[in-house]
């Protein structure tokens, strides 16, 4: 908290710390130092090198190596004198003396005696904000980036500068920025916005009640502890994802505006609550990607390793200042606040004493503050504590108490633990994509293989046919040619023979016997004829040889044809072999599809187990069903709306992009119940984002969700479907569609048959949205509508709700008795009453309230002073709105609502409701007459 006098710091000197790959295990417990004790050893290096760390000595490097990384590191910071102290204590010396080079502090007892204490770091009044951050918080921030939990906490008397040290925004002077702003700058500079994420929650612990500084209406957040790991979580807190430094500063400014503060004698603006900033960092560690290899024609998964995700949580705690009542001058409500602050700080001191003394019992459950800081002291987080003191001798007792608190805290050791887990969702997405690629590649190769076989077969058949035709034609031509030559040669020989015979016979008859000379001549002629015959015979033999040669050629051609036929047979056998290989590939494809089915079933089982675990932890507002198919994702998703080009969105958004909305909606009608459950969860998560709602309705998602309420008997489907409808009912157009399709009747029927409190909570939230969110959305979003249009829509919606049993369904769900269900019932009644009140004021409604006619007034009066603030606040609003219409006054007086209105006008903690009740009572003649009759002055 800011001191009365302003700070004026100089930039401190920088020191380098030892660079270590990761924190070591916890060693021995260091003792707190006094003037007679040995100096403390302090180290605490992390992976990165920084410009300073707690305990870093400028002269002795060995001292850095001998410390205990898990021990709580404590630094002391002195505030300069403010204007009041400069005047009042002008004649007195400071009660403390700092020796920063020795890391010592002397606390004066009197003018001649003092006590000496050693700390990990001693910061003078001239130390700059940058120096404070580097020696106190930066090592913790670096540990968080490495996957460890870390805590930075400020403790001290009121007005000593805790809030200035931690939460100063530095808007006018950037050098004045506090630890919160500087820590987020380092975190955003180190992470990758494409793969990593940073989300924050900002809370305050006020009067033993945890309240959300980012959503003031969320004023009673419960603490949950994991029975196995002991981790503490706040499932009801608002979580905002951070993408840039400016949005973080705006969140801090919004939270500080909602924090309780008061003026005391010690500080003009004293924080009356403990502020807690939680920063969750999720980082992906690069590893081997899954690969597929081919061995003997079969695909086998050789390496399958999920990406590693490291999750670190930084907790920055700005404790409210301890104070003495006689010095602070607290009285009335401020006195009660001071008592609550001192009790929680006392409980924290008891826990630290028990841890410092190694006590068997640590009373962590004595206060919500100690429960929240369970991991910071004696847990697994790396913790740095900065204690702030003032120089005034008037507050020596408080200064001594603060110093002793820091000394005891230095004895506490934590066991640092790395937060790592495997990102199976990312692995499953990569496997699905890889399987799709493999299947597509396999089908492409198979088709190419079939086409190649057909092409080779066709070419072989064409070539064989062409060869057969060619040789058949050549053989036929040769045969015809040789046969023709042969016949011509025979014919010539026969003609020549006949001619010779005729010539020889005629000569013999004509000439008769001749003399010897004539015989000799005749013999010569005969010899010549015989020679011709011999020659003809030779020619005939030659022709015979040629014929044989032609026949041999024909045989050769036949042999070649046989060889071609054998080649064709070999080709057919090769084709058969290829077909066998194709069948083998088909069998391998079937096996691969079976493996894909097994992987998909395993993926569905993992998703189901994750959803079951998440269902136990899901305590968010109705209609906001957060799946995990991651984070996200996002609880608050403004970063996705702001920059659509960024990768690594929420896991549900990626599923939406990869699979497609129509395919997801088609799974709502699947025969497998588990598939339907997973599908409706995905649709519910998509419906949580306004940008997806119109697409879901246009694709028929609303009709499918209503059909699930009507046809399914599974209560899980009823619960998730009702949550999705509640999200869609936030839109005016969707409200008309839900009414037109009988959604109110279906929700009422489902509520009558449901037993599970969470299912009733979702149904009540959906009906509550239908009761009046159209008006709320118009004012919240800045939409300008005419009065007649708003009144007409509200009156139509209310008549439809009442006619189809919506009010009676709300009243029927109070049988559950669960606080969350009752809170949603109260919200629905408040919305309904608000719309009726507006319609009555505008003159569009004249009759008695439909809530009173349906018998809601007794339950409203009964719960007007309910212990749960969420129920009480909505019921008080409903009573005020009902009382604004004079026609309801008589029934409210008879039902006892008048007494509750009087109580609200006097005792309600919220000023706006209290003022509304006062105006309502003073403006109603019937109420004023009844109060006068009862002699109640108002």
Integer angstrom CA distances of residue 58 from 118, 505, 784: 16, 153, 65
Integer angstrom CA distances of residue 816 from 227, 709, 896: 27, 20, 25
Separation of first and last alpha carbons in the chain: 41
Please tell me the total count of domains within the chain: 4
159 annotated binding-site participant = yes
Question: Residue 511: what pLDDT?
Answer: 57
d(CA 404, CA 387): 10
161 annotated binding-site participant = yes
Which two three-digit tokens encode residue 165? 């040290």
d(CA 858, CA 882): 13
d(CA 932, CA 904): 18
CB-CB contact of 309 with 388 (8 Å): no
Question: Residue 592: what pLDDT?
Answer: 80
User: Where residue 810 sits, what CATH number does that domain have?
Assistant: 1.25.10.10
Which two three-digit tokens encode residue 810? 């709300």
**Position 568 pLDDT exceeds 90:** no
**Position 10 pLDDT exceeds 80:** no
Of 739, 714, 715, 711, the C-alpha closest to 725 is: 739
Strands 150-156 and 382-389: parallel
pLDDT per residue as tens digits for the range 48-81: 333 333 433 333 333 333 345 689 999 999 988 8
pLDDT per residue as tens digits for the range 879-929: 888 888 888 888 888 888 888 888 888 888 888 888 888 888 888 888 888
Question: Residue 69: what pLDDT?
Answer: 65
Q: Where a domain ends, among 741, 767, 791?
A: 741
Question: Residue 551 falls within a domain, yes or no?
Answer: no
pLDDT per residue as tens digits for the range 597-635: 776 666 666 666 556 555 554 444 333 333 333 333 333
For 711-745, give one letter per residue: b (16+ CB within 10 A) or e: ebeeebbbbbbbbbbbbbbbbbebbebbbeeebbb
Question: Residue 119: what pLDDT?
Answer: 95
**Position 407 pLDDT exceeds 80:** yes
CB-CB contact of 402 with 395 (8 Å): no
Same domain for 843 and 715:
no
d(CA 219, CA 215): 8
156 annotated binding-site participant = yes
Same domain for 731 and 788:
no
327 annotated binding-site participant = no
Q: Where a domain ends, among 472, 496, 520?
A: 496
Question: Residue 729 falls within a domain, yes or no?
Answer: yes
Across the range 214-238, mean pLDDT stands at 85
d(CA 313, CA 381): 9
Question: Residue 27 falls within a domain, yes or no?
Answer: no
Question: Residue 121: what pLDDT?
Answer: 94
H/E element holding 654? helix 651-659
Question: Residue 314 falls within a domain, yes or no?
Answer: yes
- Enumerate the H helices of 60-200 as residue ranges: 62-65, 83-88, 129-132, 138-145, 162-167, 179-190
Question: Residue 393: what pLDDT?
Answer: 83
Q: What is the residue-wise DSSP string for 201-228?
A: EEEEEETTEEEESS-TT---PPPEE-TT
Which two three-digit tokens encode residue 792? 């007409």
Question: Residue 101 falls within a domain, yes or no?
Answer: yes
Question: Residue 208: what pLDDT?
Answer: 86
Which two three-digit tokens encode residue 817? 């008795």
Strands 121-123 and 73-78: parallel
User: Where residue 365 sits, what CATH number does that domain have?
Assistant: 3.40.850.10
Question: Residue 133: what pLDDT?
Answer: 95
Same domain for 898 and 797:
yes
User: Residue 783: which pLDDT band, with cuts at 50, 70 and 90?
Assistant: very low
Q: Where a domain ends, among 407, 422, 437?
A: 422
Same domain for 187 and 234:
yes
Q: What DSSP state is assigned to residue 456? A: H
d(CA 301, CA 290): 8
Across the range 24-33, mean pLDDT stands at 34
3-state SS, 785-834, equals: CCHHHHHHHHHHHHHHHHHCCHHHHHHHHHHHCCHHHHHHHHHHHHHHHH
d(CA 53, CA 73): 10
Q: Within 13 Å, how many C-alpha atoms sit on residue 407's CB side?
A: 19
Residues 6 or more apart whose CB falls under 8 angstroms from that of 897 comprise 857, 860, 861, 864, 879, 882, 883
CB-CB contact of 819 with 759 (8 Å): no
Question: Residue 97 falls within a domain, yes or no?
Answer: yes
Across the range 811-816, mean pLDDT stands at 86
Q: Comparing 119 with 508, which gets the higher pLDDT?
A: 119
Poorest-pLDDT segment among 21-25, 245-249, 510-514, 654-658 = 21-25
d(CA 231, CA 791): 50
For 879-901, give one letter per residue: b (16+ CB within 10 A) or e: bbbbbbbeebbeebbebebbebb
Poorest-pLDDT segment among 14-23, 263-272, 369-378, 433-442 = 14-23
d(CA 259, CA 86): 30
**Position 196 pLDDT exceeds 80:** yes
pLDDT per residue as tens digits for the range 132-179: 999 999 999 999 999 899 999 999 988 888 999 998 998 888 899 999
> At 363, phi and psi to the nearest 5?
-80, 65
CB-CB contact of 188 with 180 (8 Å): no
Q: What is the residue-wise DSSP string for 367-392?
A: -HHHHHTTTTSSSSSEEEEEEEE---
pTM higher than the cut 0.85: no
Same domain for 794 and 715:
no
**Position 392 pLDDT exceeds 60:** yes
CB-CB contact of 130 with 50 (8 Å): no
Q: What share of the chain is helix, strand, coil (3-state, %, to 5)?
A: 60, 10, 30
- Enumerate the H helices of 729-803 as residue ranges: 732-740, 743-753, 757-781, 787-803
Question: Residue 821: what pLDDT?
Answer: 87
Question: Residue 631: what pLDDT?
Answer: 36
Residues 6 or more apart whose CB falls under 8 angstroms from that of 96 comprise 78, 105, 106, 107, 108, 389, 391, 399
Same domain for 693 and 783:
no
Across the range 680-704, mean pLDDT stands at 82
d(CA 627, CA 723): 12
**Position 872 pLDDT exceeds 80:** yes
d(CA 17, CA 57): 9
158 annotated binding-site participant = yes
Question: Residue 204: what pLDDT?
Answer: 92
Q: Which residues partner with 205 through β-bridges?
A: 210, 274
Question: Residue 507 falls within a domain, yes or no?
Answer: no
Question: Residue 862, Cβ neighbours under 10 Å: how many?
Answer: 14
Q: Comparing 638 with 209, which gets the higher pLDDT?
A: 209
Same domain for 668 and 804:
no
Same domain for 412 and 276:
yes
Across the range 763-784, mean pLDDT stands at 59
**Position 131 pLDDT exceeds 90:** yes
Same domain for 758 and 682:
no
d(CA 98, CA 93): 13
Question: Residue 324: what pLDDT?
Answer: 66
Question: Residue 296: what pLDDT?
Answer: 44
pLDDT per residue as tens digits for the range 72-110: 999 999 988 877 777 766 666 678 889 899 999 999 877
Question: Residue 758: what pLDDT?
Answer: 87
Same domain for 925 and 792:
yes
d(CA 202, CA 184): 14
Question: Residue 517 falls within a domain, yes or no?
Answer: no
User: Residue 697: which pLDDT band, with cuts at 50, 70 and 90?
Assistant: confident
What is the domain range of residue 924?
747-937
Of 664, 659, 712, the C-alpha closest to 687 is: 664
d(CA 823, CA 815): 13
Length of the chain: 938
Same domain for 239 and 90:
yes
Across the range 6-11, mean pLDDT stands at 34
Same domain for 331 and 475:
no
CB-CB contact of 194 with 426 (8 Å): no
Integer angstrom CA distances of residue 229 from 25, 116, 396: 18, 40, 42
For residue 156, give the 3-state DSSP assignment: strand
């Amino acid at each position: 908290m800011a001191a009365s006098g302003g700070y004026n710091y100089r930039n401190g000197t920088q020191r380098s710390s030892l660079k270590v790959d990761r924190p070591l295990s916890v060693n021995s417990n260091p003792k707190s130092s006094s003037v007679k004790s040995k100096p403390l050893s302090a180290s605490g290096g992390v992976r990165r090198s920084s410009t300073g760390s707690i305990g870093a000595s400028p002269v002795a490097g060995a001292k850095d190596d001998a410390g205990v990384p898990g021990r709580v590191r404590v630094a002391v910071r002195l505030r300069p004198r403010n204007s009041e102290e400069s005047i009042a204590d002008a004649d007195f010396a400071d009660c403390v003396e700092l020796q920063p080079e020795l890391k010592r502090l002397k606390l004066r007892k009197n003018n001649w005696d003092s006590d000496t204490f050693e700390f990990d770091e001693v910061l003078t009044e001239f130390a700059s904000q940058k120096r404070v951050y580097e020696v106190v918080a930066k090592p913790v921030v670096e540990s968080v980036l490495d996957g460890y939990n870390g805590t930075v906490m400020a403790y001290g008397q009121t007005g000593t500068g805790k809030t200035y040290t931690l939460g100063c925004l530095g808007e006018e002077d950037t050098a004045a920025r506090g630890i919160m702003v500087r820590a987020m700058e380092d975190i955003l500079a180190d992470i990758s916005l494409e793969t990593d994420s940073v989300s924050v929650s900002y809370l305050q612990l006020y009067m033993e009640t945890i309240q959300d500084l980012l959503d003031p209406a969320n004023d009673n957040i419960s603490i949950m502890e994991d029975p196995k790991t002991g981790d503490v979580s706040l499932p009801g807190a608002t979580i905002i994802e951070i993408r840039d430094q400016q949005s973080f500063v705006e969140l801090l400014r919004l939270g500080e505006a909602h924090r309780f503060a008061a003026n005391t004698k010690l500080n003009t603006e004293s924080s009356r609550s403990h502020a807690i900033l939680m920063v969750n960092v999720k980082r992906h560690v690069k590893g081997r990607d899954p690969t597929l290899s081919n061995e003997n024609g079969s695909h086998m998964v050789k390496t399958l390793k999920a990406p590693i995700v490291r999750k670190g949580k930084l907790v920055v705690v700005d404790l409210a200042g301890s104070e003495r009542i006689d010095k602070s001058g607290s009285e009335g409500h401020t006195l009660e606040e001071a008592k609550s602050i001192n009790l929680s700080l006392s409980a924290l001191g008891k826990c630290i004493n028990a841890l410092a003394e190694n006590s068997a019992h640590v009373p962590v459950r004595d206060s919500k503050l100690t429960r929240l800081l369970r991991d910071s002291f004696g847990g697994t987080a790396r913790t740095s504590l900065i204690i702030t003191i003032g120089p005034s001798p008037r507050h020596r007792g408080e200064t001594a108490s603060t110093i002793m608190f820091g000394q005891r805290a230095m004895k506490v050791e934590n066991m640092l633990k790395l937060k790592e887990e495997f990102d199976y969702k990312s692995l499953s997405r990569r496997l699905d994509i890889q399987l799709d690629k493999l299947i597509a590649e396999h089908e492409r190769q198979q088709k190419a293989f079939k086409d190649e076989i057909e092409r080779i077969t066709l070419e072989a058949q064409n070539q064989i046919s062409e060869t057969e035709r060619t040789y058949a034609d050549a053989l036929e031509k040769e045969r015809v040619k040789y046969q023709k030559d042969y016949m011509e040669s025979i014919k010539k020989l026969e003609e020549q023979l006949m001619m010779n015979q005729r010539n020889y016979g005629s000569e013999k008859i004509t000439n008769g016997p001749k003399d010897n000379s004539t015989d000799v001549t005749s013999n010569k002629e005969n010899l010549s004829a015989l020679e011709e015959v011999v020659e003809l015979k030779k020619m005939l033999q030659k022709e015979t040889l040629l014929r044989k040669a032609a026949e041999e050629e024909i045989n050769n051609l036949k042999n070649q044809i046989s060889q071609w036929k054998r080649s064709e047979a070999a080709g057919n056998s090769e084709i058969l072999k290829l077909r066998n290989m194709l069948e083998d590939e088909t069998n391998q494809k079937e096996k691969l599809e079976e493996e894909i089915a097994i992987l998909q079933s395993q993926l569905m089982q993992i998703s189901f187990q994750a959803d079951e675990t998440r269902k136990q932890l899901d305590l968010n507002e109705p209609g906001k069903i957060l799946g995990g198919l991651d984070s996200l994702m996002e609880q608050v998703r403004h970063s996705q709306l702001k920059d659509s080009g960024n990768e690594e969105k929420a896991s549900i958004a990626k599923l939406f992009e990869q699979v497609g909305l129509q395919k997801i909606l088609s799974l709502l009608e699947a025969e497998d119940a588990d598939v339907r459950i997973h599908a409706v969860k995905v649709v519910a998560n998509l419906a949580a984002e306004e940008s997806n709602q119109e697409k879901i309705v246009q694709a028929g998602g609303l009709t499918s969700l209503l059909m699930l309420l009507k046809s399914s008997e599974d209560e899980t489907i009823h619960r998730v479907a009702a949550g999705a409808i509640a999200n869609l009912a936030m839109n005016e157009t969707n409200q008309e569609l839900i009414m037109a399709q009988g959604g109110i009747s279906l929700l009422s029927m489902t509520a009558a048959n449901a037993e599970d409190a969470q299912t009733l909570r979702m149904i009540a939230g959906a009906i509550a949205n239908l009761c009046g969110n159209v008006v709320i959305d118009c004012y919240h979003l800045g939409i300008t509508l005419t009065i007649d249009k708003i009144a007409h829509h509200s009156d139509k919606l209310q008549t439809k709700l009442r006619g189809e049993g919506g009010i009676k369904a709300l009243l029927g769900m109070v049988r559950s008795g669960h606080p969350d269900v009752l809170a949603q019932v109260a919200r629905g009644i408040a919305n309904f009453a608000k719309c009726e009140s507006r319609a009555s004021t505008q003159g569009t409604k004249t009759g008695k309230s439909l809530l009173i006619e349906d018998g809601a007034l007794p339950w409203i009066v009964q719960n007007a002073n309910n212990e749960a603030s969420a129920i009480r606040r909505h019921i008080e609003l409903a009573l005020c709105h009902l009382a604004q219409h004079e026609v309801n006054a008589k029934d409210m007086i008879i039902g006892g609502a008048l007494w509750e209105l009087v109580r609200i006008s006097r005792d309600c903690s919220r000023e706006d409701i209290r003022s509304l009740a006062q105006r309502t009572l003073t403006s109603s003649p019937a109420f004023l007459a009844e109060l006068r009759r009862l002699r109640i002055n108002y």
